[in-house]
Amino acid sequence: MKLTNFIDGNWQEVGEVDYTAVVNPANGQHLAEVRMSTKNDVDQAVAAAVKAQKKWALVPAPKRADYLYEIGRLMKEKKEHLAQVLTKEMGKVIEEGRGEVQEGIDMAFYMAGEGRRLFGETTPSELADKFAMSVRAPIGVVGLITPWNFPVAIATWKSFPAIVAGNTFIWKPATETPMMAYEMAKIFQEAGLPAGVANVVFGSGSEVGTAMIEHPDVKVISFTGSTETGRKVAELGGRHLKKVSLEMGGKNAVIVMDDADLSLAVEGILWSAFGTAGQRCTACSRVIVHKDVKKELENLLLTQMEQLTIGDGLDESVKIGPVINKNALEKIHSYTKIGQDEGAKLLVGGEILEEGKLAGGNYYAPTLFTDVTPKMRIAQEEIFGPVVSLIEVGSLEEAIEVNNGVKFGLSSSIFSRDVNKIFRAQRDLDTGIVYVNAGTTGAEIHLPFGGTKGTGNGHRDSGVAALDVYTEWKSIYVDFSGKLQRAQIDTE
């Protein structure tokens, strides 16, 4: 199967352009081929989106929302199929695949509700017989650039608020996971979304991403991916005076205090560290543990890690699937050596798995390091795999300092039974998301999603906050006094 672009409500001809293979990370199976689009393809998509946006902005927002209700309904109807495609091309276990599709469904219905809200403000004027209000106005054509680790959810966090607010979009999914985008484009078409409102252009970041950012008619770029790429996107976007929303990497920690429910903490750590094979932006990759419970926690983790089944995510009994590709596998493995060279103690894992049923896939053994110090590279850099570092501390203050002592600020968590410690922690942890007595993952779509420092640039996906990325505030003053009234001057 050859995946072509969806532009102006049509599927592009296969044509004489380059295609690249889409591979199942669980077994190396060839799944499809995807178009490596050119700048010319981007230009066509932008032209279609510009044309469509003028009409789309005039469609009443509740009517725009009706399309989202239909998209949500179709996603619900096809949920199992979408989850299967997701697991095949990305590797996460099927239960998590279903969860991710559900996140997209939730987003569709939530943002459809915004069609009847999109609240602005009305406020008194300082002058008599004058009325003041602010409304959200669409910005125009938006460019969406998404990563492979959440191939559908992240796209819904961006595209659904964009269209309910009256924008049109061009979506460039990651090269590793185009099949989900292809499925979503089919759903946009089936839902009857007017031509040009939703466009999907496949291809590399350097060619398609750059062309989108540089195009003068693309007004907003919403990017999720690594901090390294995000910096390039921001630099180029800045040069072209684009509004750029960035959601980037993380180095998330679970804090376990001496009064914590340790079995609960272990469950939270395993789920957030090894789910999606550690490839969530919110994955727990550091456990900051109070010295009095360190040994006990270590033992509990080791016992529980033995139960983790590894394999093809389509097998319902498997808990940990493959990582995305061979490059990722090598990068993860290089950190095992880095950790050992730095003096951290490898308790378990630290190896590529390729025996028996795992042959042909990209599997890494769940890995636990202990005696890690906060400044070691394994405690500072995003590894993006099933690798956890245990760092010992002596107090809550020290735990918070260690948590905050990295360049990222996405998610953090604290396990404790002491309400005072919990409230101090939620105030002082410098991350966009804080969990109490739960791991570092588990975001819900109606709250803002994003991070501080190297994780973001102040914008948020998800929740009502997402609308801020895709709208401009317009302030409107209506003077019905029939005379000139000057603000700040004619106020007496």
Binding site for ligand NAD (CB under 6 A): 145-150, 154, 172, 174-175, 204-206, 209-210, 224-226, 229, 232-233, 247-250, 281, 382, 384, 410, 451, 455
Active site residue 284: no
- Min separation Cβ 394 and ligand NAD, Å: 30
Q: What's the rounded Cα separation, in Å, for the pair 205 and 236?
A: 13
Give the active site residue among 70, 89, 281, 382.
281
319 and 270 Cβ atoms separated by less than 8 Å: no
Which of 42/65 has CB closer to ligand NAD? 42
Beta carbons of 130 and 466 less than 8 angstroms apart? no
Rounded Cα distance, 157 and 126, in Å: 38
Tell me the sheet residues that pair with 123: 132
Q: Find the catalytic residue in 89, 103, 183, 247.
A: 247
> Residue 281 or 393: which CB sits closer to ligand NAD?
281
Taking the complex as a whole, the smallest distance from the CB of residue 346 to ligand NAD amounts, in Å, to 24
Chain Cα centroid distance, residue 189: 24
Cβ nearer to ligand NAD, comparing 285 with 416:
285
Rounded-to-integer distance, Cα 84 and Cα 154, Å: 18
Beta carbon of residue 83, minimum distance to ligand NAD (angstroms, whole number)? 18
**Distance, CA of 52 to CA of 169 (rounded, Å):** 10
Closest separation in Å from C-beta 122 to ligand NAD: 34
Q: Rank residues 155 and 347 by Cβ distance to ligand NAD and give the closer one.
A: 155
- DSSP line for 263-281: HHHHHHHHHHHHGGGG-ST
Strands (E), 416-470: 433-436, 452-453
User: Partners of 367 in the beta sheet?
Assistant: 387
- Minimum Å gap between C-beta 132 and ligand NAD is 36
| Residue closest to ligand NAD (Cβ) | 205
Rounded to the nearest 10 degrees, the angle between the axes of helix 153-164 and helix 178-190 is 40
Q: What are phi and psi of 84, to 5 degrees?
A: -65, -45
Q: Where are the beta strands (DSSP E) in 140-242?
A: 141-145, 168-172, 198-200, 218-224
Nearer to ligand NAD, 280 or 319 (CB): 280
- To the query of whether residue 281 is one of the catalytic residues in this protein, the response is yes
Q: Of 212, 226, 207, nearest to 171 (Cα)? A: 212
Nearer to ligand NAD, 158 or 290 (CB): 158
Smallest distance, ligand NAD to C-beta of residue 134, A:
28
**Best CA proximity match to 236, nearest among 211, 199, 217, 204:** 211
By annotation, the residues acting in catalysis are: 247, 281
